[in-house]
Structure 1
Amino acid sequence: MTAAVPIVPTVSRPLPRAFWALVVCQLVNRLGSFVQPFLVLYLTQDRHLSAGTAGAVAAAVGAGSVVSQLVGGWLADRVGRRATMLVCFFGTAAALILLGSARSMPMIWAAAFAVGLLGDLFRPAVQAAVADLLQPGERVRAYGLLFWAINLGFSVSTVSAGVLASLGFGLLFWLNAATSVIAGVVIWTMVPESRPVLDEGADRRPLLPVVLRDRVFLAVVLLQIGYATIYFQGYSTLPLAMARDGLPSSLYGTVIGLNGVVIVLLQPFLVKRLASYDRPKLVAISMLVVGLGFGLGAVVDTFWGYALTVVVWSIGEIGFAAVIGAVFADIAPLDLRGGYMGVTGMAFGVGTVIGPLAGPNSLQHFGATTTWIGVALLGVVIFIGQWLLVPALHARAAANAATA
C-alpha cells in the first residue's frame, strides 16, 4: 500500500456547512450520552431490580439498536436522511423520558427497546448524508472528523455522568433527552435533505434482494462482523483478563480510557494522511493492527503492558473507523445508500453480540494466552480476506463513480 495510489484523488477544500452541522449534532448527542452507561446501576439501585433483570433490560436496548440500523437505513432511502434523523432525535428524547419515569416492568421493557430502536436510527442516515454531500475524495476526512467528534463527546460524557449520577439518576434521563432535542434542532435548522433524486419514473429497488445478490458487499459485511467481534474484547474479555492478573477494576477504567485519549489526540493529525492511502488496503491493515494489538495480551500481565495493547489497537481503530464508511459509500448503489449503511451497522451490532459471548467463554475454558492468540489469528484471517477483496472493491468504486 502506498500513498501514491489512492482509489480516488484526495480533495482539499472547505467542507460544506451542512456537514459541520452533522459534526456538531454528533458531538452534542454524544456529550449527552449519560443514560446507557449507568442504566444497569439505575435499575438496580433506584428501581431495585435484580442484576439479571437489569442486564436483560440493557440487552433490550441493544436489541433495539441492532434492529434500528436496518430500519434507519430503509427510512433514509425511503423518506429521506433529514426526516430519519429528526425522528431519531426527537423520538429518542421522548423514549428516554418514558424510560426514566416508567414503573411497571412491561413499560420499562417497552421503553428500553424504544430507546435502542429510536436512538440509532440516525447512524445510517448520517453516513448516507455525508456520502451525498461530499465527493469521494473528501469522504475519508469527513468520516474521520465524525469519528473524532463522537469519541470526544463520549469521553466527556462518561466522566461527567459519574458526577451527575451522584445528584440523582433522574437528572441523567432529562439531560440526555435535552441533548437529543438540541441535536434534532441542529438538524432541523441547518441540514437540508440530501437524498439523491432518481430519474423520472424510476422506482427505488427493494433493499434485501439487492443486498443478497451482492457478493462483494456481503463479504465485506462478514469481515466487519469479524472485526467487531475482535473490537468488543476490549469491553468484555479485557477487564476479566486484567482481574485474573490481580489488577483492580479501577485500573481497567484507566486502561480503557486510553482508547478515547489516543483517538482524540491522534485522529486530527492522522486523518489527512489517511485520506491519501488506498482505502480497502488501509481497512485490511487497520483490522490486522487491531487484532495484533489485542493479541499482545498473551504476553502482558501488568498495567503498563495492557496500556500498550490498548494504544496499539486504538491506532488500528483510527484507521478503520476513518476509512470504512468511505469504502461502503464507494460501493453502495446510489438509490440504496442508506440501506447499505444500515446493513453494515447491523453487522457491527452482530459482532457486539458474538464478541462478549466468545471471548469470556474462551477465557474461562482455555485461558488468557490461548484466547488472545485466537483473537490475533482472527485478525490475520480478516486481514487476508479484506486484502483479497481489494480488486473487486476498486472495480465497484470506479463503476459507481462513473455512473454517479
Structure 2
Amino acid sequence: MLQQAFTRYINNFRGFSREVWILAVITFINRAGTMVLPFLSKYLKEDLHFSYSQVGTVMVCFGFGSMIGSWLGGKLSDRIGFYRIMVFSLFTSGALFFVIQYIRSFEGMCMAMFSIMVIADMFRPAMFVSLSTYAKPENRTRAFTLVRLAVNLGFAAGPALGGLIILGIGYRGLFWADGASCIISILIFSLLVKEKKKEITDRHLNDDAPQRSAMRDIPFLLFLFSSFTTAFIFFQLFTTLPLYHKEWYGLTEVHTGLLMSLNGLLIFLLEMPIVGFFERKNVQKVKIILWGALFMAISFFVLLINVWVGILLVSLIFMTIGEMFCFPFSNSFAMGRAPRGHEGKYMGLYTMTFSLAHITSAKTGMGIIALKGNVGGYQANWLFMGVAGMLAVGALLLLQKMLIKENS
C-alpha cells in the first residue's frame, strides 16, 4: 500500500521535458541563493544604521522596482523573446548584487534597490512564458507547480544558509552569494537549454484573441483583482501572523518556524498530487481558484476564535490548502488566457499583482493593528482580511459566469 502511494506520488513528476527540469533546477539554485531579501531590513537597520522610516522607504522602492520589472519583463518577452530577457535579467542582477554591498547612503540604497529589482523581476514573466513553451499543453499546470516547489525549497534553504554566512563573514557575504547564484544558474540555463520559439497552437490559430488588449479584457481584469486580493491576504502569513503568534499566544520564533515549516512540508507532499488529480479530472481552473480563495478567507475568519492556540494550526491548514488551490492554477489560467504574441504582457500584469500585494499587504495589516491597538487590532485585521478574501470569491464567481457566457 505504501509502495503504491509512493509510486502514484512519483508519477505526478513524470512527463516533463528536459528543459522544464533544468528550469526547476536553476530556479532552486537562484532562490536558495536569494539570501539578501530575508535579512534586508536587518542589514539596513543594524549594518547601515538606517532609521525605521528609512528602512520602510527602501522596502517601498524595492516593491515598486519589482512592479516595474514585472511589467517590463512581460512586455519585452513579447518583443524580443523570453530567452534573452531571462539571460539578461539574472546575469545583470547578479553583477549588481556584487556592487550594491558598497553602497552605504540612504539615497544610494533607495536607487540601488529600485534598479536591481527592475532588472531582477524581469525574469519572472519571462520564466512563465518559457514554461509555456518548453512544457507540453497537457502538463503545463504541473510544470508551473514543479517550479513553485523549486521556489519553496529554495526559500527554505536560503535563509538557513544566509544565517550561517552572516555568522561567518558578515552581511556582505550575502551579496556575494546572491550574485553568484544568479550568474551560476543562468550560465547553467544558457549552456544546457537552447532558445525555442513559442509554437502557434490550434487554439491561437482559430481564436480572434490577438486583437484583444489585456487592459480591455474584462474577465482577465477580474482575474487580476482576485489574484491581487489572494496574494494580499496570503502575505499576512509572513508579516502580521508571526507577530500575533508572539504577542497574543506567547509563542517563540521556534514555534513560528515550525508552523511555517509545516506549510512548506504540506505543499511539498500534496501540491503536485492535487494538481495532477484536478488535471486528470479536467476541472475548470477558475472553479479550483475560487475554492482556494474561499479557504484563504476562512483561514482568517477562524483566527477570530482567539481563546485556543490550536486555532493557529487550523488556520494554517486552511491557508495552505487555499495556496495549493490558488497559485498553480492562477499561473496556468493567466497563460491560457493570453492571446498569441501577448503571453509576456499577460504574465507581466499577473506577476505585477504579487509585487503590488507585497507593497500594500504589510503596510495595511500593520496599520490596522496600530490603529486599533494590539488587543482589538489583530481581530480587526483578521476580519478585514477575511472580508477581502470573500471579495476575491465574489470576483471569481462573476468571472466564472462571464467565461460560461463567453464560451456559449
1:191 to 185, 193, 210: 193
Structure 1 distance, partners of 2:75, 2:236, is 30
Equivalence for 1:112: 113
After superposition, the CA RMSD in angstroms is 2.6
1:20-99 to 2 correspondence within 5 Å?
20-99=21-100
Deviation digits for residues 271-301 of structure 1 (CA, Å, limit 9, x no counterpart) = 3113233211001101111111122211135
1:223-372 to 2 correspondence within 5 Å?
223-250=226-253, 251-276=255-280, 277-364=283-370, 365=372, 366-372=376-382
Instruction: Please state how far the C-alpha of 1:328 moved relative to its aligned partner.
Output: 0.8
Q: How high is the TM-score relative to the length of structure 1?
A: 0.87
Structure 2 distance, partners of 1:61, 1:12, is 35
Structure 1 distance, partners of 2:323, 2:350, is 16
Q: Contact (CA 8 Å) 2:63, 2:356: kept in 1 or not?
A: no
- Find the residue that maps to 2:213 and give its secondary structure: helix
Bigger shift: residues 101-110 or 152-161: 101-110
- The change in CA–CA distance for 1:282 and 1:39 in structure 2 (over 3 A counts) is same
- The change in CA–CA distance for 1:258 and 1:197 in structure 2 (over 3 A counts) is closer
1:370-385 to 2 correspondence within 5 Å?
370-385=380-395
Q: How high is the TM-score relative to the length of structure 2?
A: 0.86
Q: Contact (CA 8 Å) 2:225, 2:392: kept in 1 or not?
A: no
How many pairs were matched up?
381
- The change in CA–CA distance for 1:288 and 1:113 in structure 2 (over 3 A counts) is same
Instruction: Please state how far the C-alpha of 1:219 moved relative to its aligned partner.
Output: 1.1
Deviation digits for residues 153-208 of structure 1 (CA, Å, limit 9, x no counterpart) = 11111222112211111111111111101111122112333343789xxxxxxx99
Structure 1 distance, partners of 2:180, 2:82, is 22
Q: Contact (CA 8 Å) 1:247, 1:303: kept in 2 or not?
A: no
Equivalence for 2:19: 18
Q: Contact (CA 8 Å) 1:263, 1:318: kept in 2 or not?
A: yes
- The change in CA–CA distance for 1:185 and 1:375 in structure 2 (over 3 A counts) is same
Equivalence for 2:122: 121
Structure 2 distance, partners of 1:95, 1:121, is 14
Instruction: Please state how far the C-alpha of 1:105 moved relative to its aligned partner.
Output: 3.7
Q: Contact (CA 8 Å) 1:237, 1:359: kept in 2 or not?
A: yes
Where structure 2 has 5 or more consecutive residues not aligned to the other structure, the ranges are 1-11, 202-209
Equivalence for 1:156: 157
Instruction: Please state how far the C-alpha of 1:311 moved relative to its aligned partner.
Output: 2.3
- The change in CA–CA distance for 1:13 and 1:160 in structure 2 (over 3 A counts) is closer
Equivalence for 1:6: none
Which amino acid is 1:338 matched to? G
Structure 1 distance, partners of 2:211, 2:107, is 32
Identity of aligned residues (%): 26
Deviation digits for residues 359-390 of structure 1 (CA, Å, limit 9, x no counterpart) = 23333425333332332232223113212312
Q: Contact (CA 8 Å) 1:95, 1:114: kept in 2 or not?
A: no
Q: Contact (CA 8 Å) 1:129, 1:195: kept in 2 or not?
A: no
Q: Contact (CA 8 Å) 2:133, 2:199: kept in 1 or not?
A: no
- The change in CA–CA distance for 1:193 and 1:363 in structure 2 (over 3 A counts) is same
- Find the residue that maps to 1:166 and give its secondary structure: helix
- The change in CA–CA distance for 1:395 and 1:196 in structure 2 (over 3 A counts) is farther
